[in-house]
Amino acid sequence: MDFFAAQALARKRTSRLLALFALAVAGTIAAAYLAAIYILQFTEAGSSQRAIYGDYDPRSSALVLWQPHVFGYVAAGTVLVVGLASLYKWKQYSAGGSVVAESVGGRRIDPGTRDLKERRLLNVVEEMAIASGTPVPAVYVLDDEGAINAFAAGLTTSDAVVAVTRGTLEKLNRDELQGVVGHEFSHILNGDMRLNLRLAAALFGILVIGLAGRGILFSLRHARMRPRGKNNGGGILLVAVSAGIALMIVGYVGYFFGRIIQAAVSRQREFLADASAVQFTRNPIGLTGALKKIGGYALGSKMESSKSAAIGHFFFAQAFRAGLTGLWSTHPPLEERIRALEPGFDGRYFEPPEVVDVARESFVDAGLAQPPPLAGFAPPPPAPPVIGSLAPAAASAGVQAIGSLSADQIINARLLLDATPPDLRAAAHTADGARSVVFGVLLDLDGAVRARQRALVATRAGAEAARQLDAFDASLRALRPEHKLPLLQVALPALRRIPAAELAAFLDTLDELVHADARVSPFEFALQKLLTHTLELGKTPARAVVQYHSFQAVADEISIVLSALARAATSDAAWAERAFAAGGTELKLVEARLRFVSESAASLPALDAALDKLAAASLPIKQRILAAAARVVTADGRLLITEAELLRAVAAALDCPMPPLGS
């Protein structure tokens, strides 16, 4: 399934989820209504309320089941409480995937870590991010969890995080770890993360009623019943206890149905994520090896912290014991998942080399060595790195590969990283070094311009930043064009940690470096747009919403984008117009409205504003725009590296991750 189809399916699932959520709320209202009329009928406080509701017959002790006024108040109150609680939780999650990871005890791995296991995990994540064209996500580890598990969280690819347990780091080899990370990248690319967050927020909204009831009962645990007649304290206490019990019952009735919905939505996606992970890595042994280890170790995939319960459906494997004979299971049984990938599975799981008393001793303390890599798998031969100009077909192939991952792409990403100067790659993992690396790739080859840029860095970013530029000079001059954007992707996790107060100054310095020679090259625009869009969206991921569903509404912006790309691809105005017309043929619905605009109207600031508006367009519109853009940059029968990277920057600005072209 391609990126656009997967994202459309995720939106369809969201609509289905909202319908199921409405049914769960309806069940909660029904339970709350029954509890309310019971309290009104049988508590002492009810006598003062009966006069208010005309439905009650004082001459009869029979229970009146239908009381419209009571139902109206209960329904309105339930919807209000559930809605506000869900919005509150969604507001929390809207801050980004890091909030989710930290809420369950995750520790962000320092990109410059020297821990070998953490370094291996970061390398695997970086390779998959570069191969898929997504920003490199922040990586977290749950240090207190010895089980094998992992999850991905976030609203967009710009704020996504990948989190793994300590057990995952300690017990899996590289192939198995790659299989697990590939599974999580499937959730990132298929739009599952946003759905997961909405599901968690909705479930919290239903559960909050039960939590309120439990809170009432907890606050009354030391209260004493007073004899009747003393300010009627006993009656008030009875009402409070009854209300607390009723709220708990009502809340957990809703929670019961919410958990069923959560489980049903989650289970159907796990098989797809498993299949995608195998497709990404071309190594089923890696993923099945991880699943077999979950079945073989005593802890399996069970999470110890109750904080993780609210996001149980996020995880790679079943994180908590499922009640109701598996009705609440958020994941299919291990055996089913393994057989789907390995039809000849004999039911035998991994056998740990030594039994460890997990109640008293951790696997690290026990000194268990990492098992050897799985045998029987020969990786495909490495693809050569991309150099020079590319075949024109690479542009359209890149559009088709948006949001995809394959074994060849991962190998190509590894080759790109390995060919990057080691000192630059190491610096990209630190906060100060990442800034210097970004400044460095913008340095001009002209000596006079380069000197002005260095002075500008010294003035705006400090003498230490300028000193680092000098230290990197030889490596920066040797850096090939096709290595620059992957290097920036590696730097993104460190750049995301720049405080908001410093981010504006960093982006201003970046802008001055770009304009130091009084012109902006396509690469400079691509780099600046990729960084600013990714960093700003990573800070406020909730603003990534669809506002335009019609091609007509964005026809002017499409004209600007295609005109700017056509002029960047050639200096010949006549050729540029022909390239623009070639791109327009991909947009039949608005081809007649498209206009090849003047150079001033298609300036880079105008292109920047147009891309910002198009980022709020629907996915079908974005897909056709990128297909048209690919036609424009290849209309002259060639595709230069700078044109390819500009196309990737346009895709990134539209939140459509495009892998390196030619990979």
Average pLDDT over residues 208-228: 64
Average pLDDT along the chain:
81
Residue 338 pLDDT > 90: yes
* Cα dist from 300 to 165, 180, 478, whole Å: 12, 14, 48
Average pLDDT over residues 613-621: 91
Tokens 């990492």 map to which residue? Answer: 370
Residue 379 pLDDT > 60: no
Q: Say which DSSP state 88 is in.
A: H
Top pLDDT among 394 and 371 is at 394
Residue % of the chain over a pLDDT of 70: 81
Strand-pair category, 138-142 with 107-108: antiparallel
* Cα dist from 217 to 41, 256, 620, whole Å: 21, 20, 52
The contacts of residue 490 (CB under 8 Å, 6+ apart) are 126, 130, 136, 417, 420, 425, 428, 429
354 catalytic? Reply is no
Residue 226 pLDDT > 60: no
pLDDT of residue 595: 94
Q: Report whether 661 contacts 482 (CB < 8 A).
A: no
Average pLDDT over residues 360-381: 40
Please tell me which residue in 127, 176, 184, 586 is annotated as part of the active site: 184
pLDDT of residue 293: 94
In the β-sheet with 107-108, what is the strand arrangement from edge to edge?
107-108, 138-142, 161-165, 150-153
Structure confidence at residue 567 as a pLDDT band (50, 70, 90) = confident
pLDDT of residue 14: 59
Structure confidence at residue 367 as a pLDDT band (50, 70, 90) = very low
Residue 374 pLDDT > 70: no
* Cα dist from 242 to 222, 229, 648, whole Å: 16, 20, 61
Residue 646 pLDDT > 90: no
Question: Helices marked H in 540-597 — which ranges?
Answer: 555-569, 573-584
Top pLDDT among 649 and 180 is at 180
Residue 278 pLDDT > 50: yes
Token pair recorded at residue 481: 């064009």
pLDDT of residue 375: 39
Top pLDDT among 251 and 129 is at 129
Structure confidence at residue 556 as a pLDDT band (50, 70, 90) = very high
pLDDT of residue 239: 62
The region of weakest confidence among 144-148, 388-392, 489-493, 500-504 is: 388-392
d(CA 549, CA 561): 18
Residue 264 pLDDT > 80: no
Structure confidence at residue 380 as a pLDDT band (50, 70, 90) = very low
Expressed in angstroms, the distance from the first to the final Cα of the chain is 19
pLDDT of residue 257: 72
Residue 580 pLDDT > 50: yes
Neighbours of 434 (CB within 10 A): 26
CA dihedral for 211, 212, 214, 218, sign (positive or negative): positive
Residue 57 pLDDT > 60: no
> What tens digit of pLDDT does each residue of 7-21 get?
566 566 656 666 777
> What tens digit of pLDDT does each residue of 620-639 get?
999 999 999 999 999 988 88
Q: Rank 235-249, 374-388, 580-594 by mean pLDDT and report only the highest.
A: 580-594
d(CA 388, CA 547): 39
- List the helix and strand counts (H, then E) for the chain: 26, 4
Residue 571 pLDDT > 90: no
Residue 624 — φ and ψ, nearest 5°? -70, -35
pLDDT of residue 13: 61
Residue 191 pLDDT > 80: no
The region of weakest confidence among 267-271, 372-376, 398-402 is: 372-376
Residue 40 pLDDT > 80: no
Strand-pair category, 161-165 with 150-153: antiparallel
| Sequence letter at residue 555 | A
pLDDT of residue 369: 36
Token pair recorded at residue 497: 């940690």
Tokens 């953490």 map to which residue? Answer: 118
Average pLDDT over residues 654-659: 87
Angle between helices 431-441 and 447-461 (to 10 degrees): 150
pLDDT of residue 136: 92
pTM of the model: 0.77
Top pLDDT among 557 and 400 is at 557
Average pLDDT over residues 579-599: 92
Q: Report whether 510 contacts 437 (CB < 8 A).
A: no
pLDDT of residue 371: 38
Residue % of the chain over a pLDDT of 90: 29
Residue 325 pLDDT > 80: no
> What tens digit of pLDDT does each residue of 460-516 get?
988 999 999 999 999 999 888 888 888 988 999 999 888 878 888 898 999 899 888
- Element at 216 (helix H, strand E): helix 192-219
* Cα dist from 288 to 170, 587, 615, whole Å: 17, 44, 38
Residue 359 pLDDT > 60: no
Burial of 422 (0-12, 13-18, 19+ CB in 10 A): exposed
> What tens digit of pLDDT does each residue of 90-118 get?
888 888 899 999 999 999 999 888 899 99
